[in-house]
Structure 1
Amino acid sequence: MAELKEIVDSLKDYLQEVSFQSHQVVFKDGDDSREMYFITEGNVHIVKSIAGKGNKILAVLGADDIFGEGALLTDKPRGASAQALTATKAYKLTYDSFQKLLLDEPSKVAEMLIEIIQIVNGRLQYVNSELITLYDVMRILSNSPDDIGMVAHDIIEKFIEVSAAQEGVILLHNVATEREDVLATSDNSTADFVTQVMGGVSEKAEDFMQNSSIRYDNGEEKVLWIPVRSLEGKYLGVVVLNHEDGSFADTDVKLAVAITEQLGTVVERHYSKESDKERVRLKQQIVSGL
């Protein structure tokens, strides 16, 4: 059976080569466009906006992956948005070209559809694994809701367990000092790694604060930076993971982002409780001074 790359090579007469800049939106949830894309270079994430819960990343895709196939094969609007995370190149198959392909090369269409089914099946299997991991994360978050340090440590260890990361650190943004403070490190984190993180976190934090659409930064390949955000997208801190043996797989990135999103709700709740305590303390001071 032909692999996706071979299929794409055989269909180039029907495809259009396209490119997208970093953070460029390819299509939006609800759009009526019906193109399908074959990624050759770069990364794209598929995002669904959920009322009251912000954006949920459904998939992080890379080279030799596909997206937009649902709209091509049905007459339904887009069910999610697609956005390039980095400079991205792809081949686009329009609906009209697909119809022509059906008439001209039905056997190639059959091969393509079989490959699409296999890709979608693989994604479903991954989703099952992700759900199990996120269930474990929810248990961690609920077991010690008031001990943010313990929660952060258990979460960073979960990152190490389920991804290719070999060490990690979680930092929270200190509003008073405008700096990032270490909240937790993995058990095997080295002093060199923590020093490296502290040396580069200010620049990353500024980027994350200025652009709430940034879901992660993997530009250094071996180091993955994921902003911790509130439901409204406010920057609260950052998770940093290190993978000395190479770059992170797209599935690792997606799962790490999903876990960090859950962590963000706990951090936001922690800040809210601390603010409530401070208000009570100030009120008591005022009352005692009367």
Structure 2
Amino acid sequence: MRPRESLTSLVLTAPATLALVIFVFLPVAVVFLLAFTNYQIGAPGLGWVGLDNFEQLFGSRLGRNALLNTLTYVAIVIPASVGLGLLVALGLHALARSMPRLSDVLKAVYFLPVAATLVAMAVSWQMLLHPSLGLINTWSSALGLPAPLWLSDRGLVLYTLSAIGIWQSVGYNMVLFLAGLAAIPPALYDAAEVDGATGGWSRFWLVTWPMLGPTTLFVLVVTAASAFRVFETVATLTKGGPAFASDTIVYALYREGFVYFKAGYASAITVVFFLALLLLTALQVWVIERKVHYR
């Protein structure tokens, strides 16, 4: 490459590179450094505490509770939202051949939770789940079913939030799977039929599922990232309660950093959150990448 072309490339990439360094890499480096200090927002100074913040996170009951709640939430939301997203996409993809207008309407309905503001949707769920005035408990009582305290029962609240998280994620996963289904060449199904795969189940396992490998990997990574950073529904509906039963790692980060102003401890939580998400993503890629077929 000639010097003039090199200079042009440098001039074109320099602003984006500088912005990336200033607004991404530099803050990440600062957070990693603060994680080993006792810095509090507004304090005149700070002190080096080493691994004390991490020991507090893993050693305290509240810290372990937030981590366990987050892992439980992730373990429920990821498989359920990915599986339901795939089922909905398969159904709408088949429906589009015979009833395209109805398929388009259903796609919009399923995608509505993704397009809507999460806080507004959380408020709607708060009204629906109200113990005495909510529509869900009203219908349950009318049918003679129990009307539990969805957001006040310590043993139930985390599963309620997980159900809302699944509801929020299915529409987005559906759109991704629909794109993957549309990209599968019809000739592959014809070839599979010649080989004897005439049933829907055999066609799915021999053609559809292998060809959806790259899409499935992407959906898993995106869903995992979204599930790990759950915050809006917790902050709007429960604020980590009752008795920290729905406390998650991101809400704990917010509470420690922006309510109690413990920037050092909040930074340690951020580092753990980042490393856990990085590890889960790497594990997904490492395990599933081997079985993914790229065209």
Both structures adopt the same fold (TM-score exceeding 0.5): no
Q: Comparing both structures, which one devotes a greater share of its residues to strand?
A: 1
Q: Comparing both structures, which one devotes a greater share of its residues to helix?
A: 2
Compute the TM-score of the two structures, normalised by the length of structure 2.
0.30
Higher Cα radius of gyration: 2
